[in-house]
Amino acid sequence: MSIIATGITKTFGRYKALNDVDLVVPSGKLVALLGPSGSGKTTLLRIIAGLEHADEGSGKIEFHGQDVSRVPAGERGVGFVFQHYALFRHMTVADNIAFGLRVRPRTQRPSETKIADRVGELLKLVQLDGLDRRFPSQLSGGQRQRVALARALAVEPKVLLLDEPFGALDAKVRKDLRRWLRQFHDEIQLTTIFVTHDQEEALEIADDVVIMNQAKVEQVGTPQEVYDRPTTPFVYQFLGNVNVLRDVAAWSTTGPIHDNGRLAADGLLYVRPHDIAVSRHEPGTLGVPAVFRHVHTAGSQTSLTLELLHTRETVEAEISRTELAELNIKLNDLVLLRLRPSHTFQHDYAI
Amino acid sequence: MSLFTSRRSALPGFNLSLGYTVFYLSLIVLVPLSAVFLKTAGMTWESFTQAVASPRVIASYKITFGASFLAALINMVFGLLLAWVLVRYPFPGRKVIDALVDLPFALPTAVAGIALTAIYSKNGWIGQFLEPLGIHVAFTELGVLMALTFIGLPFVVRTLQPVIEELQPEIEEASASLGANRWQTITRVILPELYPALLTGFALSFARALGEYGSVVFISGNMPMRTEIVPLLIITKLEQYDYRGATAIAAVMLVASFLLLLVINLLQKWSRRYHRV
């Protein structure tokens, strides 16, 4: 089921959490709302869920073409998963999952045996079979989050909304669980929106990424689009590391400055560390001279810190360990930097 | 090798602190209480039963336990409401009301008793309106209930407040988004989370009411067989130099209260069974 939000504004007192935001989520997609804290992403999610309401007279929320702005949360057919799980601690895992079915009006309530079957199915789906008699306090964080997911799915929602679902988990579990969520989504094909401030998470599993900043949507696109062709300096800086270079004239002799909108509207050059090539300083070679200050190795990649000779700006360059070995340079050696052409293959255009 | 091995904790001195705990508890609680039993033990069975089971004493048990129980129940309901409002809704004067809740703690109970009597007596501010309706508060069982409710209120409110503060608003939202209506959210999600604290508040309020003396003696009228409470009976016996009779009743009260509190504590433990780890 598609979700369309148009012209949503939300203010808390004097603070504007959302400023005339539009959002379109096509049916069956897994969409990430990505942004720093305070960007309004959670507020937008809560408004879609009906847990919060947009300012009077501003915009509307449509599910499958139907205006649901005035429909209460419980009747919107959304499954909502909270960052801190919000499980009912006095209920067992099975009772938690069955909650949404048991509170239905008597006429629509399934029989207890049907509920038990459904709970069993869901436990299998989230890979927690056998834990039905446990209390939430006896589960790990990752397990609790999956119980929360199963509970949300029990009422057969048409839309799944997840608020920083992996925010409270440790790095390893986060990674496993988000890959699991991706597979899970491919299986059940439910329109899903999840909020995150972790760009890696969003880029890895989402079909579309919606990048938000200061109550506005900055850019919408597939992970590759937003990473390779950011439309604003904010998106450039937010998605991965970026060097901000002032001396555009000097760099323009070393490589394409228009690739991927590197040259932003603010007159600065935004270049990813892996788009900077490093070579030995030899007379007659083209490049911006810099001093090699520091090297930091992470896995197969090395990150070099370089200081530009003329402007004293610090630049980061990422090259492989083999490349670094071939360069054969020492700290404080003079090197030359060039811009690599960007790695995009499709829609290669400049702004 | 110590008898009570405990896991090594960051704070050393388990043996020392345990010894201190036992010593202190003995000095302050156990020794005085055992004196009650020792004194009672000197009585013959016959004089004991006579002291603790005469109709007048039985009547006083009924009013004391009955009114205390009812007062604790009332406090549980209204204390919950009060604590909820104080925690959840910001409104002007909240701090003042919050401070007012403690007043029954701080006020000398005699003052409370006199004030309540003055207000609810026939010519009092409130009593003059109740009297024509046939509702008599001062010098009746209702008066006893009133006084006991008054002094027990802070216990429930103060026990519940931190627990309500810790209640995540998300569990209410989760309940709502799963389709529960407000009533279902209250009865199935919120109240079960509060049961342990509610029971604690109830137990404290109940225990406090059982031992209350100062405020009740003013408003109850102290009519034997009707509004005479157990603590008053004990004092009366003491004044008549019937020390054994007084301690006998005290011992019965002590055992009964202890058993009741034990039951409430067990109930409370059961209601927290999910709260392991």
The pLDDT value given to residue B4: 53
Return d(Cα B260, Cα B277) in angstroms, integer: 28
Residue B145 clears pLDDT 90, i.e. is over it: yes
Flag whether B42 is in a domain. Answer: no
User: How does pLDDT run across B52-61, given as a tens digit for each residue?
Assistant: 889 999 999 9
What is the ipTM for the molecules in this complex? 0.79
Flag whether B213 is in a domain. Answer: yes
Q: Which amino acid is located at B271 in the chain?
A: S
- The stretch B265-274 carries a mean pLDDT of 82
Flag whether B263 is in a domain. Answer: no
The CATH number of the domain holding residue B81 is 1.10.3720.10
**CB neighbour list of residue A161: distance below 8 Å, 6 or more residues apart:** A45, A48, A49, A78, A79, A80, A81, A192, A193, A194
Strand A78-81's sheet: what is its strand order?
Answer: A78-81, A159-163, A191-196, A30-34, A208-213, A216-221
The pLDDT value given to residue B8: 65
Flag whether B155 is in a domain. Answer: yes
- The stretch A313-333 carries a mean pLDDT of 88
Contacts of A89 in chain B (CB under 8 A): 193, 274-275
Q: Is B178–A152 a contact, with Cβ atoms under 8 angstroms apart?
A: yes
Domain containing residue B120: 53-227
Is pTM beyond 0.90? Reply is no
Q: Is B173–A151 a contact, with Cβ atoms under 8 angstroms apart?
A: no
Residue A351 clears pLDDT 50, i.e. is over it: no
The pLDDT value given to residue B3: 53
Percent of chain B with pLDDT over 90: 52
Across chain A, where does the E strand assignment appear? 3-12, 15-25, 30-34, 60-63, 66-67, 78-81, 159-163, 191-196, 208-213, 216-221, 243-245, 269-271, 276-280, 288-298, 301-308, 314-320, 334-339
Return d(Cα A260, Cα A271) in angstroms, integer: 9
Question: In chain B, which among 152-171 make CB contacts under 8 A with chain A?
Answer: 168, 170-171
Q: Is B173–A104 a contact, with Cβ atoms under 8 angstroms apart?
A: no
Q: Residue B136: which pLDDT band, with cuts at 50, 70 and 90?
A: confident
The pLDDT value given to residue A102: 94
Specify the range with the lowest mean pLDDT, choosing from A138-142, A169-173, A293-297, B179-183: A169-173
Q: Is A74–B177 a contact, with Cβ atoms under 8 angstroms apart?
A: yes
Could you identify the residue written with the tokens 């409130």?
B126
Average pLDDT, chain A: 88
The residue of chain A nearest to residue B196, with distances taken between CA atoms, is A90
Q: Is A86–B171 a contact, with Cβ atoms under 8 angstroms apart?
A: yes
- Who among A79, A103, A154 is closest to B184 (CB)? A103
Return d(Cα B265, Cα B207) in angstroms, integer: 12
Contacts of A82 in chain B (CB under 8 A): 170, 173-174
User: Three-class SS string for chain B?
Assistant: CCCCCCCCCCCCCHHHHHHHHHHHHHHHHHHHHHHHHHHHHCCCHHHHHHHHHCHHHHHHHHHHHHHHHHHHHHHHHHHHHHHHHHHHCCCCCHHHHHHHCCHHHHCCHHHHHHHHHHHHCCCCCCHHHHHHHCCCCCCCHHHHHHHHHHHHHHHHHHHHHHHHHHCCHHHHHHHHHCCCCHHHHHHHHHHHHHHHHHHHHHHHHHHHHHHCCHHHHHHHCCCCCCCCCHHHHHHHHHHCCCHHHHHHHHHHHHHHHHHHHHHHHHHHHHHCCCCCC
Q: Residue B275: which pLDDT band, with cuts at 50, 70 and 90?
A: low
User: How does pLDDT run across A150-191, given as a tens digit for each residue?
Assistant: 999 999 999 999 999 888 788 888 888 888 889 989 988 899
Q: Mutate one of B175, B177, B272 to test the A interface: name it (highest A CB count within 10 A).
A: B177
The pLDDT value given to residue A247: 82
Residue A346 clears pLDDT 50, i.e. is over it: no
Residues of A with CB under 8 A from a CB of B: 49-51, 72-75, 78-80, 82, 84, 86-92, 99-100, 103-104, 135-138, 148, 151-152, 154-155
User: How does pLDDT run across B194-203, given as a tens digit for each residue?
Assistant: 998 999 999 9
The pLDDT value given to residue A347: 41
Looking at the structure of chain B, the number of domains it has is: 1
The pLDDT value given to residue A343: 54
Flag whether B237 is in a domain. Answer: no
CA distance, residue A87 to nearest chain B CA (Å)? 7
User: How does pLDDT run across A266-282, given as a tens digit for each residue?
Assistant: 778 888 888 888 888 88
Q: Is A155–B277 a contact, with Cβ atoms under 8 angstroms apart?
A: no
Token pair of A315, please? 């630049």
Which candidate, B154, B76, B78, B82, places its Cα nearest to that of B112?
B154
Question: In chain B, which among 185-204 make CB contacts under 8 A with chain A?
Answer: 188-189, 192-193, 195
The pLDDT value given to residue B5: 54
Token pair of B14, please? 């388990």
Q: Residue B173: which pLDDT band, with cuts at 50, 70 and 90?
A: very high
Q: Is A82–B170 a contact, with Cβ atoms under 8 angstroms apart?
A: yes
Residue B201 burial (CB count, 10 A): 28
Q: Is A90–B174 a contact, with Cβ atoms under 8 angstroms apart?
A: no
The pLDDT value given to residue A214: 92
Flag whether B87 is in a domain. Answer: yes
Q: What share of chain A is helix, strand, coil (3-state, %, to 5)?
A: 30, 30, 40
The pLDDT value given to residue A261: 66
**CB neighbour list of residue A302: distance below 8 Å, 6 or more residues apart:** A295, A296, A318, A319, A320, A321, A324
Residue B179 near chain A (CB below 8 Å): yes
Q: Which amino acid is located at A162 in the chain?
A: L
Residue A339 clears pLDDT 90, i.e. is over it: no
Question: In chain B, which among 37-76 make CB contacts under 8 A with chain A?
Answer: none
Token pair of A142, please? 């990752």
- The stretch A321-329 carries a mean pLDDT of 87
The pLDDT value given to residue A348: 41
Question: What is the dihedral sign for C-alpha A318, A321, A323, A324?
Answer: positive
Q: Residue A56: which pLDDT band, with cuts at 50, 70 and 90?
A: confident
Which candidate, B69, B255, B81, places its Cα nearest to that of B144?
B69
On the 0-12 / 13-18 / 19+ scale of CB atoms within 10 A, B96 is exposed
Q: Residue B6: which pLDDT band, with cuts at 50, 70 and 90?
A: low
Flag whether B255 is in a domain. Answer: no
* DSSP code at position A111: P
Q: Is A74–B176 a contact, with Cβ atoms under 8 angstroms apart?
A: yes
Specify the range with the lowest mean pLDDT, choosing from A68-72, A304-308, A339-343: A339-343
CA distance, residue B196 to nearest chain A CA (Å)? 11
Return d(Cα B206, Cα B149) in angstroms, integer: 9
Flag whether B69 is in a domain. Answer: yes
